[in-house]
Amino acid sequence: MAGSMGYQLSFNQIWTNFDKLAEGLLLSLGLAFISILIGAIIGLVLAIWYVSAGRVARTFISGYVEFIRNVPLLLLVYLVFYGLPTVVNISYSAPVSFVVTLSLYAGAYLVEVFRSGLDAVPKGLLDAGKAMGLTPWQRLLYVRLPTMTRITLPALSNTFISLFKDTSIASVIAVPELTYGAQWINNKTFRIVEVYAVTTVLYVVTGYAILFGLRLLERRFRVER
């Protein structure tokens, strides 16, 4: 049928421009990786703070979490890239702006993950720490955090995959990640069906390859309960 429409599939020009997709894929992974690192720090700090925080601080943390979770990521990307520089006297490149946005975004999701992770640490472990004479800080550092990390590992994997897919939105502010690479090749070659076919496969295969690797890691560090 496609043949009768006069559209012939031809992947040659996709392969000659494949470097755009390969570099884009690497940048996508990099953006997701940096964002989950910063997001994890934000999430962890706020989750620990939340437990001992007063009412005002709790409202502030919940406000941040609910705001980010209920607004489209696209709008947040625009807000940080086009909106903020008009009032704050700073200028940043599109990739930096996107990492800031995606980190804040990841942070909001990870606060919840870490909060439930901290709750899920078996009380017996903390009692054992107390019995050994560990100070509250030592219990946090040596008992709660390591156990929580192992408990939250599956949720962290899912968040990473989800962030990896969200990096496609960086294309709207011309960050040369995978989706932008696809658009670039399309503008140059008009091989729209082919370029998106290859791009889709790249996203799906990379996503599941990472997920598979992370699942192995999770099995290795699973907490027996």
Partner 1 sequence: MDAIIYSLPFLMNGLGVTLLVSAIVVALSLVIGVLLGIGLIYGPWPLRWLIRLLSDCIRGIPILVLIFVVYYGLPPLGLNLSSFWAAVLALTVFKSAHVIEYVRGAVTSIPRGQMEAGMAIGLIFPQRLRYVILPQAMRRFLPPWLNGVTDAVKGSALVSLLGVVDLMQAINQVIGRTYEPLPLYVLGALMYFAINYSLSTLSKVLERRYSYIRE
Residue 210 found at the interface with partner 1 (CB under 8 A) = no
Q: Is position 199 an interface residue for partner 1 (rule: CB under 8 A)?
A: yes
Interface mask (CB under 8 A) for partner 1, residues 166-185, using x and -?
xxxx-xx------x--xx--
Q: Interface with partner 1 includes 5 (CB under 8 A)?
A: yes
Instruction: Record the tokens describing residue 213, joined without a space.
Output: 């690797």
> In the complex, what is the shortest distance from the CB of residue 55 to partner 1, in angstroms, rounded to a whole number?
19
d(CA 187, CA 21): 14
Q: DSSP class of residue 86? A: G
Contact (Cβ atoms closer than 8 angstroms) between residue 134 and residue 142: yes
Is the Cβ of residue 3 or residue 124 nearer to partner 1 in the bound state?
Answer: 3
Tokens of 5: 């429409």
CA distance linking residue 55 with residue 114, whole number of Å: 19
Residues 82-141 binding partner 1 (CB under 8 A) are 82-84, 86-87
Q: Using DSSP, state whether 225 is helix, strand or coil.
A: coil
CA distance 164 to 207: 8
Q: Using CB under 8 A, which of 126, 155, 165, 223 touches partner 1?
A: 165
d(CA 61, CA 111): 9
52 versus 70: smaller Cβ distance to partner 1: 70
- Binding positions for partner 1, rule: CB under 8 A: 1-2, 5, 7, 66-67, 69-76, 78-79, 82-84, 86-87, 165-169, 171-172, 179, 182-183, 186, 192-193, 196-197, 199-200, 203-204, 207-208
